Amino acid sequence: LRQAQADLAYMSRVIAVGELAASLAHEIKQPIAAAVMNAKTCARWLQRDTPDIAEACEAASRIVKDTTRAAEIIDRVRSLYSRGTPERELVDLNEIVREMIVLLHDEANRYCIPISIRAELTPSLPRVMADRVQLQQVLMNLMLNGIEAMKDTGGELTVTSKIAENGQLLVSVSDSGVGLPVEESDRIFKAFFTTKPQGTGMGLSISRTIVESHSGRLWASANTGRGATFHFSLPTETKAVAMPPEGT
Ligand code: ADP
Protein backbone atom coordinates (compact mmCIF):
# COMPACT_ATOMS: atom_id res chain seq x y z
CA LEU A 1 0.00 0.00 0.00
CA ARG A 2 2.81 2.35 0.91
CA GLN A 3 4.51 1.73 -2.44
CA ALA A 4 1.19 2.40 -4.19
CA GLN A 5 0.82 5.63 -2.22
CA ALA A 6 4.34 6.67 -3.15
CA ASP A 7 3.69 5.83 -6.82
CA LEU A 8 0.42 7.77 -6.83
CA ALA A 9 1.97 10.76 -5.11
CA TYR A 10 4.82 10.65 -7.61
CA MET A 11 2.41 10.44 -10.56
CA SER A 12 0.36 13.31 -9.32
CA ARG A 13 3.46 15.38 -8.72
CA VAL A 14 4.62 14.77 -12.27
CA ILE A 15 1.21 15.74 -13.65
CA ALA A 16 0.97 18.87 -11.54
CA VAL A 17 4.55 19.86 -12.30
CA GLY A 18 3.81 19.31 -15.98
CA GLU A 19 0.92 21.73 -15.72
CA LEU A 20 3.19 24.22 -14.04
CA ALA A 21 6.03 23.88 -16.53
CA ALA A 22 4.92 26.77 -18.73
CA SER A 23 4.61 29.27 -15.93
CA LEU A 24 7.84 28.08 -14.34
CA ALA A 25 9.68 28.45 -17.64
CA HIS A 26 8.45 32.03 -17.62
CA GLU A 27 9.60 32.51 -14.04
CA ILE A 28 13.07 31.19 -14.87
CA LYS A 29 13.35 33.16 -18.11
CA GLN A 30 12.93 36.47 -16.32
CA PRO A 31 16.08 36.32 -14.15
CA ILE A 32 18.04 34.84 -17.05
CA ALA A 33 17.00 37.72 -19.34
CA ALA A 34 17.95 40.17 -16.58
CA ALA A 35 21.34 38.46 -16.21
CA VAL A 36 22.01 38.78 -19.96
CA MET A 37 21.16 42.50 -19.82
CA ASN A 38 23.42 43.02 -16.84
CA ALA A 39 26.26 41.07 -18.48
CA LYS A 40 26.02 43.39 -21.51
CA THR A 41 26.00 46.44 -19.25
CA CYS A 42 29.00 45.07 -17.37
CA ALA A 43 30.93 44.56 -20.63
CA ARG A 44 30.08 48.11 -21.76
CA TRP A 45 31.45 49.65 -18.55
CA LEU A 46 34.67 47.64 -18.96
CA GLN A 47 35.10 48.46 -22.66
CA ARG A 48 35.05 52.23 -22.12
CA ASP A 49 38.22 54.18 -22.83
CA THR A 50 38.40 54.62 -19.07
CA PRO A 51 36.71 51.49 -17.69
CA ASP A 52 34.33 52.18 -14.81
CA ILE A 53 35.19 49.36 -12.48
CA ALA A 54 32.66 50.36 -9.79
CA GLU A 55 29.72 50.31 -12.24
CA ALA A 56 30.98 47.03 -13.76
CA CYS A 57 31.17 45.46 -10.30
CA GLU A 58 27.63 46.54 -9.56
CA ALA A 59 26.36 45.02 -12.80
CA ALA A 60 28.29 41.83 -11.99
CA SER A 61 26.69 41.56 -8.55
CA ARG A 62 23.26 41.96 -10.17
CA ILE A 63 24.17 39.01 -12.42
CA VAL A 64 24.98 36.95 -9.33
CA LYS A 65 21.60 37.86 -7.84
CA ASP A 66 19.66 37.04 -11.04
CA THR A 67 21.34 33.70 -11.63
CA THR A 68 21.03 32.70 -7.98
CA ARG A 69 17.30 33.34 -8.24
CA ALA A 70 17.05 31.16 -11.38
CA ALA A 71 18.96 28.38 -9.63
CA GLU A 72 16.67 28.62 -6.59
CA ILE A 73 13.60 28.21 -8.77
CA ILE A 74 15.12 25.14 -10.44
CA ASP A 75 16.00 23.63 -7.04
CA ARG A 76 12.45 24.13 -5.78
CA VAL A 77 10.99 22.39 -8.81
CA ARG A 78 13.49 19.58 -8.61
CA SER A 79 12.59 18.94 -4.97
CA LEU A 80 8.96 18.63 -6.06
CA TYR A 81 9.37 15.78 -8.45
CA SER A 82 12.53 13.99 -7.45
CA ARG A 83 11.62 10.39 -6.81
CA GLY A 84 12.02 9.08 -3.32
CA THR A 85 10.50 6.88 -0.67
CA PRO A 86 8.47 8.82 1.90
CA GLU A 87 10.80 10.37 4.42
CA ARG A 88 9.76 11.69 7.79
CA GLU A 89 11.44 14.77 9.19
CA LEU A 90 10.40 17.72 11.35
CA VAL A 91 8.62 20.07 9.01
CA ASP A 92 7.61 23.71 9.43
CA LEU A 93 4.23 23.98 7.71
CA ASN A 94 4.42 27.78 7.48
CA GLU A 95 7.62 27.43 5.50
CA ILE A 96 5.93 25.05 3.06
CA VAL A 97 3.02 27.48 2.66
CA ARG A 98 5.42 30.35 1.94
CA GLU A 99 7.32 28.26 -0.62
CA MET A 100 4.13 27.28 -2.39
CA ILE A 101 2.95 30.89 -2.55
CA VAL A 102 6.20 31.86 -4.30
CA LEU A 103 5.94 28.86 -6.61
CA LEU A 104 2.31 29.46 -7.56
CA HIS A 105 2.56 33.23 -7.89
CA ASP A 106 2.86 33.09 -11.69
CA GLU A 107 0.16 30.46 -11.99
CA ALA A 108 -2.24 32.80 -10.16
CA ASN A 109 -1.34 35.61 -12.54
CA ARG A 110 -1.73 33.51 -15.67
CA TYR A 111 -5.38 34.40 -16.11
CA CYS A 112 -6.66 37.76 -17.44
CA ILE A 113 -8.54 38.33 -14.20
CA PRO A 114 -6.48 39.06 -11.08
CA ILE A 115 -6.17 36.33 -8.48
CA SER A 116 -4.29 37.23 -5.33
CA ILE A 117 -2.81 34.89 -2.76
CA ARG A 118 -2.76 35.85 0.90
CA ALA A 119 -1.30 34.01 3.89
CA GLU A 120 -2.56 34.23 7.46
CA LEU A 121 0.03 32.20 9.29
CA THR A 122 0.20 31.74 13.04
CA PRO A 123 3.85 32.30 13.95
CA SER A 124 5.96 29.70 15.78
CA LEU A 125 3.75 26.71 15.05
CA PRO A 126 5.04 23.43 16.43
CA ARG A 127 6.64 21.39 13.67
CA VAL A 128 5.16 18.15 12.38
CA MET A 129 6.85 14.83 11.71
CA ALA A 130 6.07 14.48 8.03
CA ASP A 131 7.24 13.88 4.49
CA ARG A 132 8.00 17.38 3.26
CA VAL A 133 7.56 16.58 -0.45
CA GLN A 134 4.20 14.93 0.16
CA LEU A 135 2.93 17.91 2.16
CA GLN A 136 4.11 20.24 -0.61
CA GLN A 137 2.09 18.06 -2.95
CA VAL A 138 -1.07 18.37 -0.84
CA LEU A 139 -0.77 22.14 -0.58
CA MET A 140 -0.03 22.48 -4.27
CA ASN A 141 -3.11 20.42 -5.19
CA LEU A 142 -5.38 22.45 -2.91
CA MET A 143 -3.96 25.79 -4.00
CA LEU A 144 -4.06 24.94 -7.71
CA ASN A 145 -7.69 23.82 -7.34
CA GLY A 146 -8.52 27.09 -5.58
CA ILE A 147 -6.82 29.15 -8.30
CA GLU A 148 -8.59 27.16 -10.99
CA ALA A 149 -11.95 27.68 -9.26
CA MET A 150 -11.42 31.46 -9.59
CA LYS A 151 -10.01 31.60 -13.09
CA ASP A 152 -13.18 33.12 -14.61
CA THR A 153 -14.10 35.44 -11.77
CA GLY A 154 -10.81 36.37 -10.13
CA GLY A 155 -10.67 36.60 -6.36
CA GLU A 156 -8.49 35.82 -3.42
CA LEU A 157 -6.89 32.60 -2.25
CA THR A 158 -6.26 32.63 1.48
CA VAL A 159 -4.02 30.09 3.18
CA THR A 160 -4.34 29.98 6.95
CA SER A 161 -2.35 28.02 9.52
CA LYS A 162 -3.20 27.68 13.20
CA ILE A 163 -3.48 25.31 16.12
CA ALA A 164 -6.96 23.81 16.35
CA GLU A 165 -8.84 23.26 19.62
CA ASN A 166 -7.79 19.59 19.66
CA GLY A 167 -4.14 20.67 19.58
CA GLN A 168 -3.60 19.56 15.98
CA LEU A 169 -2.20 21.83 13.30
CA LEU A 170 -4.85 23.10 10.94
CA VAL A 171 -4.16 24.45 7.46
CA SER A 172 -7.03 25.90 5.41
CA VAL A 173 -7.05 26.94 1.77
CA SER A 174 -9.99 29.17 0.99
CA ASP A 175 -11.08 30.57 -2.37
CA SER A 176 -13.88 32.78 -3.62
CA GLY A 177 -14.46 30.74 -6.76
CA VAL A 178 -17.20 28.59 -8.28
CA GLY A 179 -17.86 26.61 -5.10
CA LEU A 180 -18.12 22.85 -4.59
CA PRO A 181 -20.15 20.95 -7.20
CA VAL A 182 -23.75 20.79 -6.00
CA GLU A 183 -24.82 17.41 -4.59
CA GLU A 184 -21.42 15.94 -5.40
CA SER A 185 -19.45 17.38 -2.51
CA ASP A 186 -18.85 13.94 -0.96
CA ARG A 187 -17.62 12.54 -4.27
CA ILE A 188 -14.87 15.06 -4.90
CA PHE A 189 -12.40 13.01 -2.85
CA LYS A 190 -13.02 9.89 -4.95
CA ALA A 191 -10.28 9.02 -7.45
CA PHE A 192 -11.08 10.08 -11.02
CA PHE A 193 -14.01 12.29 -10.01
CA THR A 194 -13.61 15.54 -11.92
CA THR A 195 -15.83 18.32 -13.25
CA LYS A 196 -13.01 19.77 -15.36
CA PRO A 197 -12.59 19.04 -19.07
CA GLN A 198 -8.85 18.46 -18.60
CA GLY A 199 -9.09 17.20 -15.02
CA THR A 200 -7.64 13.91 -13.78
CA GLY A 201 -9.69 13.69 -10.62
CA MET A 202 -6.59 12.47 -8.79
CA GLY A 203 -5.51 15.53 -6.82
CA LEU A 204 -7.91 15.35 -3.90
CA SER A 205 -7.87 11.58 -3.57
CA ILE A 206 -4.06 11.52 -3.46
CA SER A 207 -4.02 14.47 -1.07
CA ARG A 208 -6.41 12.70 1.31
CA THR A 209 -4.32 9.51 1.15
CA ILE A 210 -1.20 11.49 1.99
CA VAL A 211 -2.81 13.39 4.89
CA GLU A 212 -4.32 10.19 6.32
CA SER A 213 -0.95 8.43 6.07
CA HIS A 214 0.24 11.19 8.43
CA SER A 215 -2.64 10.43 10.85
CA GLY A 216 -4.42 13.59 9.78
CA ARG A 217 -7.71 14.51 8.12
CA LEU A 218 -8.59 16.39 4.93
CA TRP A 219 -12.07 17.76 4.30
CA ALA A 220 -13.94 20.49 2.43
CA SER A 221 -16.61 22.98 3.36
CA ALA A 222 -18.67 25.46 1.37
CA ASN A 223 -18.05 29.12 2.21
CA THR A 224 -20.93 31.26 3.46
CA GLY A 225 -20.26 33.62 0.61
CA ARG A 226 -18.65 32.44 -2.61
CA GLY A 227 -16.23 29.59 -2.95
CA ALA A 228 -14.96 26.68 -0.93
CA THR A 229 -12.46 25.97 1.82
CA PHE A 230 -10.31 22.87 2.09
CA HIS A 231 -8.85 22.03 5.48
CA PHE A 232 -6.30 19.53 6.64
CA SER A 233 -5.22 18.78 10.17
CA LEU A 234 -2.07 17.00 11.32
CA PRO A 235 -0.89 15.85 14.73
CA THR A 236 2.03 17.88 16.04
CA GLU A 237 5.48 16.54 16.68
CA THR A 238 4.97 15.14 20.20
CA LYS A 239 1.74 13.37 19.36
CA ALA A 240 3.07 11.97 16.10
CA VAL A 241 6.11 10.61 17.89
CA ALA A 242 4.10 9.23 20.80
CA MET A 243 1.53 7.58 18.55
CA PRO A 244 3.08 6.55 15.25
CA PRO A 245 0.43 6.01 12.55
CA GLU A 246 -0.65 2.44 11.94
CA GLY A 247 1.64 0.43 9.75
CA THR A 248 4.71 2.62 10.24
P1 ADP B 1 -9.14 17.68 -10.74
O2 ADP B 1 -8.69 19.01 -10.24
O3 ADP B 1 -8.24 17.06 -11.74
O4 ADP B 1 -10.58 17.68 -11.21
P5 ADP B 1 -9.25 16.93 -7.94
O6 ADP B 1 -9.28 15.57 -7.31
O7 ADP B 1 -8.19 17.85 -7.46
O8 ADP B 1 -9.09 16.67 -9.50
O9 ADP B 1 -10.65 17.63 -7.76
C10 ADP B 1 -11.84 16.90 -8.02
C11 ADP B 1 -13.01 17.84 -8.19
O12 ADP B 1 -13.30 18.51 -6.96
C13 ADP B 1 -12.80 18.97 -9.19
O14 ADP B 1 -12.99 18.56 -10.54
C15 ADP B 1 -13.86 19.98 -8.74
O16 ADP B 1 -15.13 19.60 -9.21
C17 ADP B 1 -13.86 19.79 -7.23
N18 ADP B 1 -13.01 20.81 -6.57
C19 ADP B 1 -11.76 20.66 -6.10
N20 ADP B 1 -11.30 21.80 -5.56
C21 ADP B 1 -12.29 22.72 -5.69
C22 ADP B 1 -12.43 24.11 -5.34
N23 ADP B 1 -11.45 24.79 -4.74
N24 ADP B 1 -13.62 24.72 -5.63
C25 ADP B 1 -14.61 24.03 -6.23
N26 ADP B 1 -14.54 22.73 -6.59
C27 ADP B 1 -13.40 22.08 -6.33
The 3-state DSSP class for residue 32 equals helix
Do residues 93 and 128 lie in contact, with contact meaning Cβ atoms separated by under 8 Å? yes
Measured from the Cα of 198, ligand 1's closest atom is: 3
* Cβ-based neighbours of 246, under 8 Å, separated by 6 or more: none
Phi/psi zone of residue 9: left (φ > 0), alpha (ψ -120 to 50 degrees), beta?
alpha
Q: What is the DSSP letter of 229?
A: E
Do residues 104 and 27 lie in contact, with contact meaning Cβ atoms separated by under 8 Å? no
Do residues 80 and 138 lie in contact, with contact meaning Cβ atoms separated by under 8 Å? no
For residue 195, report the distance from its CA to the centre of ligand 1, in Å: 7
Which pLDDT value is given to residue 77?
Answer: 63
Model confidence at 25: pLDDT above 80: no
Torsion 209-92-158-26 (CA) sign: negative
Which pLDDT value is given to residue 134?
Answer: 85
Give tens-digit pLDDT for 194-239. Answer: 898 877 777 898 889 889 889 999 999 999 999 999 999 999 864 4
Output the residue whose Cα is nearest ligand 1's atom 20: 145
Nearest to 234 by CA among 217, 246, 219, 247: 217
For residue 150, report the distance from its CA to the centre of ligand 1, in Å: 12
Which pLDDT value is given to residue 245?
Answer: 45
For residue 201, report the distance from its CA to the centre of ligand 1, in Å: 7
Pocket probe mutation, ligand 1, options 12, 144, 204, max atoms within 8 Å of Cβ? 204
User: Residues lining ligand 1, judged by CB closer than 6 Å?
Assistant: 141, 145-146, 149, 175, 177-181, 188, 193-196, 199-205, 228
For residue 194, report the distance from its CA to the centre of ligand 1, in Å: 6
pTM beyond 0.75: the answer is no
Give tens-digit pLDDT for 162-192. Answer: 999 999 999 999 999 999 998 877 789 987 7
> Phi and psi at residue 38, in whole multiples of 5°?
-70, -30
Across the chain, which distance is largest between two alpha carbons, in Å?
A: 75
For residue 114, report the distance from its CA to the centre of ligand 1, in Å: 20
Residue 161 host element (H or E): strand 155-163
Give tens-digit pLDDT for 57-105. Answer: 999 999 999 999 888 777 766 665 555 566 788 999 999 999 899 888 8
Which pLDDT value is given to residue 239?
Answer: 43
Instruction: Compute the radius of gyration of the chain from its Cα atoms.
Output: 21
